[in-house]
Structures are given as structure tokens and as C-alpha cells.
Amino acid sequence: MGRKTIFREHIVRHRWSYLIGFALVTVSSLLQLLIPALMGRFTDSLEEGALGPARIAAFALGIAAVAFGTALFRSISRISMFRLARVLEKRVRNDLFKHWERLPVQYYNNQRVGDLMAHGVSDVGVMREVTMGAYYQVAEAVVLIGVTVGAMALSISPLLTLLTLLPLPLLTFMAYRFHNKVMRQSEDVQSAIGDMTSRVQEFVAGVRVVKAYVQEKAETAKFEASNAQAVHTNREFVKTNSLFNGASQGIVGVSFLISVIVGGVMVLEGGITLGEFVAFNTYLTLIIGPIESIGKVMNTLQKGSASEKRLLEILNTTPEVTDGPDTNESIARIGGEIAFRGLTFKYPGAKRPALRDITLHVPRGSSLAIVGKVGSGKSTLVSLLVRMYNPPIGTLYVDGNDILTVPLKTLRENVGFVPQDGFLFSSTIKDNISFDPKPHSMDEVEEAARLAQVYDNIVEFPGGFETALGERGLSLSGGQRQRVSIARAIIKKPSILVFDDSLSAVDTETEDRILAGLDRVMKGRTTIIIGHRISSVRRADQIIVLDQGRIVERGDHDALVRLGGIYADMYHKQLLDDEARRTDSREEASNG
């Protein structure tokens, strides 16, 4: 069940705190009413010649006391309500991040990083502005305008009050007319910010490619275009705000003009005293601020509504990969037996299945190698094993249990997955290797690094295992990133190990050392290896060849070579390539 509103839920949750804040605002507003009354009495006393030093001092002390009390209650109310805004900001960001973690990989395939960052920073910041400034200003405006208008009508003149306030309903009409435009421009601003953020993120991630292809000028031009669009959308938004605020102030000016003209005539005709006229205009001054801020408040509320709408679209996105009603919570450990039974899988929105009629049994503790052309479905097969996507019901089993009934936490804790890209976080090498809910000692980290054949590289860095990596671990070579990723999987001591073409960036000599080190790790563990080099898969107990999503060959290395099919072709071509490289090396050595 998705969330229908964020603001309303927040107000209901903290209703007593808001009521206290509203009460404090009311006290502050009531105290402010004493100042016009004192100013009126002071003016009448001055006109009557009844002011002496003591009376002047009494008026001064009275006004000072009222001002102090007003400031005190106003400050307490602002602190109370502003604190709630920070509570909302923290909760929404936490909820948003937790929900992002639950969303499937497919969701992120269709999203730009810059847009997601704009949602998490800018949209949440707008919501904080609404609950911090707009809510307080609305509460103050409602209370202060209400009590002040009441005081003006009851203590001075209902007619003058009515005439003075006649232009003010135009503000409501203007807010209504500007509403859709402000909403649209707010969305344009957020979209422009997201586009510009995506451009920066993409440049940082691909800076090596940009420099290698001398594309600095082209990238600068693209960023300048995004930046210009962001400035343009913000200017349009500011222009709309300025028009609204200017018109609001003009309407307030008309009210003041009516007060001066009509009030002045009433003083001359004896309808009200000069002190009452001064008090009336002081009352009017009190409500000018709240009335003028209505435009700003309305625009902020509309921006907040647009931001809430965007955030709700994310929070109401239902995670497709999650524990369902059939999940067996008693499954706490996985042995490692895997069975595919007639599995056919198609990505959401795709026209053709990525996998077709896959039937395969991987006994516990055995090894499986998967080879095939690019796009044949190799990575898709192992992605289903860790439920990056949901396989159809009854097509994939682990230890005899339909994988959809195995708790996600149990499944992923027991699978050590090394992805093809070898992604690393911008923290230390130690943190990347020990990236696991369970704590690991330094000895375990070092042992995992040795098994992955990356220990010698790490200790040569100035900071050793405490060396901080750059964005996405780009301060390491491709082979080093892959080996650190392998160490991260090894340290978990999982029941199932999955290597998705994880040795593609290392040379054959290093590959041999890694595979030799992994022999000890793989004993008793089910292991799946995806590879393009025959050298990395030939030791597997069984090998399958995928082509257009189907298993077209299966068997061990020797059987597949004798079969003379796709696998044998790959094997013989790589033998020829290896022989050619050895010949080139010998010729270079002899020439040298």
C-alpha cells in the first residue's frame, strides 16, 4: 500500500507539537495587539495634553514589556516548529534511501543518477522549507490577521475595517491563477537540476575517456547548455514569483490608501479620534507582513506540493523483488544445490526472452562453468540466482526449495557474487573487502586478499589496506578492482560462489594463480564461473554453452572438445592465439 501524503502524515504524527506551536503563535499575536492600543492611547493623551514624564515612562515600559513578551513567545514557537521541519527532513530522507535499497535493479536501469540525487537533496529540502517557513507563516498569518481584524472592527470602526480589507480577497484569486504555472515551473527547475547533476556525475565517472578522446571542449559545451537551461528555468520561476509578490504588495498599498483617505475623513468628521486612527493604521501595519508573505507562502506550498508528488512517485513504487506471502522464514542456511527446471525468462518490456527452456542441475559442492557469446544470457542466468530479477514460479530451486520461497536475506547472505564490473566503493580497501553485515578481523581480510592474489599489490600502496579509493575505485587498475571484488566474495565464506567474468582484466599468469588459490575456497562450495577464456572454465565439473538464451552444449572440458561444436571452436582459436603470442614473445626476445 503506497503512501498517499507525506505532509499530512507528518502533521498527524506530530499534531500535539504543532498545537503547542500554534498556541505559542497565538499568544505572540495577542501580545502584539497591545502595541497599537498603547500607541492609540498615547496619541490621545498627547493630543489632550495629559502626558507627563511619569506617564511617558509608563507607556515606554509597557511597549518594551509587550515587545519583549512578543519576541520571547515568537522565538519559542519558531524553534518548536522549525525543529519539526528537521524531523521531517531526516525521516523522509531515511525512508527514501531505505525504499531505494528495496527497489530492483530494473528500476535503476531506467533512472538517471542526477535525478535521483535531486530527489534526495533538492525535493526533500523543499519539503523542509514548507514545514519550516511556510507552515509557521501560515499559522502566524491566520492568527495575527484574524485577531487583528477583530480588534480593528470591534475597538475602532467596522466600516473602516471592511473598506480597508476589500482589496485583499484579490490575493486569493491571484494565488489560484498562479498555482498551475508555479507547479509547472517548479517541476521544470527540478528537472533542470537533475539534468545538470547527471551531466556532472557522468563526467566524473568517465573523465578518463573524456581526456583520452580529447573531448574536454565538447563536454564543457554540454555542461554549459545544461547550466544555461537550469538558469533559464530558475529565472522564469523567479519572474513568476516576483510578479506575484509585486502584485500582492500593490494590493496591500491600495488597502493602506483606503485607510488613510477614509480614516482621515472620519477623524475630521469626529467619527474616530486621532489616537484610534493611529491605532488602526498600526493594526494594519501588523498584518501587512503576513499578507505580503502570502504570495511567498503560496509559491512555497506549491513547490512543496510538486516535490511531494515526485517523492510519492518513488515511495509508491512497489518493489518487485521482495519476500512474498509464500516465503519460508525457517530457511536460515543454504547448502548449495541448484536446479533450473524449464526456465524461460524475459526482461520487463523486452520483446524476446533472454533465457529459453533452461533445465540444469548443479549438485551441492560442484562447479559449473558458463560460456557463450556476448548477449547469450550468461549474466542473466546468475542474476536470477541472486534474485536481481524474479524468475517465474517453479523454475529455479535451491536445496529443493523454490527460490521465491527462500528469504532474500538468507539467499544473498549465502551467495558470494562477483559482478563483471568489479564495482568498489569510495572508501578504504579494507572496507571494500570486509563489505559484509558480519564483522571480519584484519587476519581474515588479509587472507581473502592473498587468495584473490591482490595482497602483494595492496601492501605496496602507502596506506596499505587503509588506502582510500577514489570514485568507483578508479585509483586501482581493472585487474586490481576485480581481485578486490573476488576477495570481498571470498571473505563471506558463502555456500555458493558466483564469478561473472571476474578474471577478464587479469593476465593468464595471474589468472592461473587466482584459480589455484580459489581451489581451496571452492572445496565444498557450489561454484559458478562465467568466462570467455577456456583457461578459466576448463577445471569445472560441468560446462554449458549458451547461445541465444538456450543451452546448446553441455559436458566437461574433454567431452566438449571431442564434440567439435562451439566450445571446441573457442578452445582451438584460443590455442592458436596463445601460440601466436608465444611466437611474438620469442621473436622480440631474440631481436632484443
pLDDT tier at 1, thresholds 50, 70, 90? very low
* Over residues 492-504, mean pLDDT: 84
Q: Which three cell numbers stand for residue 162?
A: 471592511
Secondary structure letter of residue 548 according to DSSP: T
Half-sphere exposure (CA, 13 Å, Cβ side) for 293? 18
CA 338 to chain centroid: 36
Q: In terms of pLDDT, which residue wins out, 400 or 58? A: 400
CA 343 to chain centroid: 35
Torsion, Cα 25 27 33 35, to 10 degrees, reads: -100
> Which pLDDT value is given to residue 575?
80
Using the predicted structure, report yes or no on whether residue 554 has a pLDDT greater than 90: yes
What does the mean pLDDT of the chain come to? 81
Instruction: Give per-residue pLDDT as tens, 232-262.
Output: 888 888 787 777 777 777 777 787 788 888 8
- Let me know how many helices (H) and strands (E) the chain has, helices first: 23, 10
Judgement on whether residues 234 and 383 belong to the same structural domain of the protein:
no
> Which pLDDT value is given to residue 332?
87
Residue 457 lies in a domain: no
Q: Which three cell numbers stand for residue 145?
A: 490577521
Q: Which three cell numbers stand for residue 295?
A: 504570495
Residue tagged 552444449 (cell numbers): 553
Rounded distance, CA 296 to CA 161, Å? 25
Q: Return the sign of the alpha-carbon dihedral for residues 299, 304, 307, 312.
A: negative
Residue 353 lies in a domain: yes
Rounded distance, CA 115 to CA 100, Å? 13
Rounded distance, CA 106 to CA 112, Å? 12
Specify whether the backbone of 383 is left (phi greater than 0), alpha (psi in -120 to 50) or beta. Answer: alpha
φ, ψ dihedrals at 246, nearest 5°: -65, -45
Instruction: Give per-residue pLDDT as tens, 7-26.
Output: 888 888 888 888 888 888 88
Judgement on whether residues 304 and 343 belong to the same structural domain of the protein:
no
Identify the bridge partners of residue 371 per DSSP, sorted by sequence position. 545
Judgement on whether residues 308 and 342 belong to the same structural domain of the protein:
no
Highest mean pLDDT of the ranges 133-137, 181-185, 393-397, 566-570: 393-397
Judgement on whether residues 200 and 274 belong to the same structural domain of the protein:
yes
Q: Is the CB of residue 160 less than 8 Å from the CB of residue 262?
A: yes
Residue 479 lies in a domain: no
Judgement on whether residues 179 and 58 belong to the same structural domain of the protein:
yes
pLDDT tier at 542, thresholds 50, 70, 90? very high
Which secondary structure element, helix H or strand E, spans residue 343, and what is its range?
strand 338-345
> Which pLDDT value is given to residue 584?
60
Residue 509 lies in a domain: no
Rounded distance, CA 182 to CA 165, Å? 26
Percent pLDDT > 70 in the chain is 88
pLDDT tier at 474, thresholds 50, 70, 90? low
> Which pLDDT value is given to residue 553?
92
Using the predicted structure, report yes or no on whether residue 342 has a pLDDT greater than 90: yes
Judgement on whether residues 337 and 289 belong to the same structural domain of the protein:
no
Q: In what order do the strands lie in the sheet with 338-345?
A: 355-362, 338-345, 396-398, 401-402
Q: Which amino acid is at 109?
A: N
Judgement on whether residues 288 and 389 belong to the same structural domain of the protein:
no
Residue where a domain stops, chosen among 251, 283, 315: 315
Residue tagged 572496507 (cell numbers): 431
Q: Which three cell numbers stand for residue 480?
A: 586490481
Rounded distance, CA 31 to CA 68, Å? 10
Residue where a domain stops, chosen among 285, 315, 345: 315
Q: Is the CB of residue 376 less than 8 Å from the CB of residue 546?
A: yes
Q: Into how many domains does the chain fold?
A: 2
Residue tagged 588506502 (cell numbers): 467
Residue 518 lies in a domain: no
Judgement on whether residues 347 and 234 belong to the same structural domain of the protein:
no
Q: Which three cell numbers stand for residue 225?
A: 547548455
Indicate the length of the chain as a whole number. 592
Residue 514 lies in a domain: no
Instruction: Give per-residue pLDDT as tens, 92-106.
Output: 889 888 888 888 777
Q: Give the closest residue to 381 by CA, choosing from 417, 432, 435, 425.
A: 417
Q: Return the sign of the alpha-carbon dihedral for residues 413, 419, 424, 425.
A: negative
Instruction: Give per-residue pLDDT as tens, 119-167.
Output: 888 788 888 888 877 777 777 777 878 887 887 788 788 888 888 878 8
Using the predicted structure, report yes or no on whether residue 533 has a pLDDT greater than 70: yes
Using the predicted structure, report yes or no on whether residue 539 has a pLDDT greater than 70: yes
Judgement on whether residues 211 and 350 belong to the same structural domain of the protein:
no
Q: Which amino acid is at 326?
A: D
Rounded distance, CA 503 to CA 418, Å? 10
Judgement on whether residues 300 and 366 belong to the same structural domain of the protein:
no
Can you give the pTM of this predicted structure? 0.70
Instruction: Give per-residue pLDDT as tens, 273-290.
Output: 887 778 778 778 777 777
pLDDT tier at 52, thresholds 50, 70, 90? low
Using the predicted structure, report yes or no on whether residue 226 has a pLDDT greater than 70: yes
Rounded distance, CA 128 to CA 287, Å? 25
Residue where a domain stops, chosen among 315, 345, 376: 315
CATH of the domain at 390: 3.40.50.300
Instruction: Give per-residue pLDDT as tens, 362-395.
Output: 999 999 999 988 888 898 999 899 888 889 999 9
Judgement on whether residues 223 and 153 belong to the same structural domain of the protein:
yes
Q: In terms of pLDDT, which residue wins out, 261 or 199? A: 261
CATH of the domain at 104: 1.20.1560.10
SS3 of residue 67 by DSSP = helix
Using the predicted structure, report yes or no on whether residue 589 has a pLDDT greater than 60: no
Using the predicted structure, report yes or no on whether residue 412 has a pLDDT greater than 70: yes
Judgement on whether residues 218 and 299 belong to the same structural domain of the protein:
yes
Using the predicted structure, report yes or no on whether residue 424 has a pLDDT greater than 90: no
> Which pLDDT value is given to residue 76?
85
> Which pLDDT value is given to residue 471?
64
Residue 225 lies in a domain: yes
Residue 459 lies in a domain: no
Q: Which amino acid is at 46?
A: L
Owning domain of residue 573: 333-414+525-592
> Which pLDDT value is given to residue 208?
63
Q: Are strands 401-402 and 396-398 parallel, antiparallel or unpaired?
A: antiparallel
Q: Give the closest residue to 537 by CA, choosing from 494, 491, 565, 574.
A: 574
